[in-house]
């Protein structure tokens, strides 16, 4: 559920001009490999990855990204590995009846195909969004689920990379909350260091704005 901003928050965060968002658009171009962008209503076109219904009044999308395409492989890796192992065993164990080996191959290929297809659907349904006041994760193939955390709630952020992720140039960005033991993650994103830097910059902006609002 999206909470409405207070009048002070609304006044402190007016809709930015094209000049204000141009540096963010340039950063997005670098992170997306220079994909064609452009502006619509003063915001980068790629910000339309985030549905407007997710945003509160006056809330501005700073960054909207999808996981790397490698997410498809990592999301389904255990099942894909199990299916390929089953196919491998069906070819290696020659003592089994031919019908059993054929059934093993069909089952293994079916597991791999189904899990791979489901992982593709998961990739299409998943979007990570940074606004001027929150981070959001939108996911869900059948039922769409949206989780968010206010920037003022974030205690720390860090990038985690397994060896395979490091080789592929991807990583997972974690967010730890001040108010609870819960955390959120942007999984398997490309160029995680650049995205992390942009997130930290916006967190600092929002927290400075909150401090100035309290002092006013």
Enter the tokens of residue 39: 């502006």
Q: How far apart are CA 203 and CA 151, in angstroms?
A: 6
Residue recorded with tokens 């205690």: 155
Token pair, residue 113, equals 């195909």
Supply 153's token pair.
């709630």
Reduced to 3 states, what is the DSSP secondary structure of residue 189? strand
Q: Tell me what pLDDT residue 42 has.
A: 37
DSSP output for 84-122: HHHHHHHHH-TTS-HHHHHHHHHHHHHHHHHHHHHHHHH
DSSP per-residue letters across 125-182? H-EEEEESSEEEEEE-SSS-EEEEEEGGGEEEEEEE--HHHHHHTEEEEEEEESSSS-
For residues 6 and 58, give the distance between their C-alpha atoms in angstroms, rounded to a whole number.
11
Quote the pLDDT of residue 216: 65
Task: Say if residue 34 is exposed, middle or buried (CB neighbours under 10 Å; 0-12, 13-18, 19+).
Answer: exposed
Q: What is the per-residue pLDDT for 31?
A: 38
Query: What pLDDT score was predicted for residue 15?
Result: 44
What pLDDT score was predicted for residue 30? 39
Q: Residue 205, CB half-sphere, CA atoms under 13 Å: how many? A: 15
Q: Residue 3: its pLDDT value, please?
A: 44
CA distance 45 to 151: 23
Running DSSP on this structure, what letter comes out for residue 34? S
Residue pLDDT tens, the chain, 216 long: 434 445 444 444 444 444 443 444 444 443 333 333 333 333 343 444 555 677 788 888 899 999 999 999 998 888 889 999 989 988 888 888 888 888 989 999 999 999 999 999 999 989 999 999 999 999 888 888 889 999 999 999 999 999 999 999 999 999 999 877 778 999 999 999 999 999 999 999 988 888 887 776
Counting Cα atoms < 13 Å in the Cβ hemisphere of 216 gives 10
Residue with tokens 């974690």: 174
């Amino acid at each position: 559920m999206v909470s409405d901003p207070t009048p002070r928050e609304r006044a402190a965060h007016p809709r930015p001009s094209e000049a204000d968002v141009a540096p963010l658009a340039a950063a997005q171009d670098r992170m997306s490999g220079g994909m064609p962008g452009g502006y619509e209503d003063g915001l980068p076109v790629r910000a339309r990855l985030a549905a407007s219904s997710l945003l509160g009044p006056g809330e501005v999308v700073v960054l909207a990204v999808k996981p790397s395409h490698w997410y498809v492989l990592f999301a389904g890796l255990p099942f894909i590995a199990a299916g390929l192992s089953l196919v491998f065993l069906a070819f290696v164990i020659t003592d089994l009846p031919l019908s059993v080996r054929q059934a093993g191959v069909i089952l293994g290929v079916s597991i791999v195909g189904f899990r791979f297809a489901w992982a593709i659907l998961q990739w299409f349904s998943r979007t990570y969004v940074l606004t001027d006041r929150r981070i959001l994760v939108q996911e869900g193939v059948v039922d769409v689920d949206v989780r968010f955390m206010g920037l003022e709630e974030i205690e720390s952020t860090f990038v985690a990379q397994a060896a395979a992720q490091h080789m592929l140039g991807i990583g997972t960005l974690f967010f730890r909350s001040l108010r609870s033991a819960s955390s959120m993650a942007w999984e398997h994103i490309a160029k995680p260091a650049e995205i992390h830097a942009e997130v930290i910059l916006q967190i600092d902006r929002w927290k400075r704005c909150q401090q100035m609002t309290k002092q006013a």
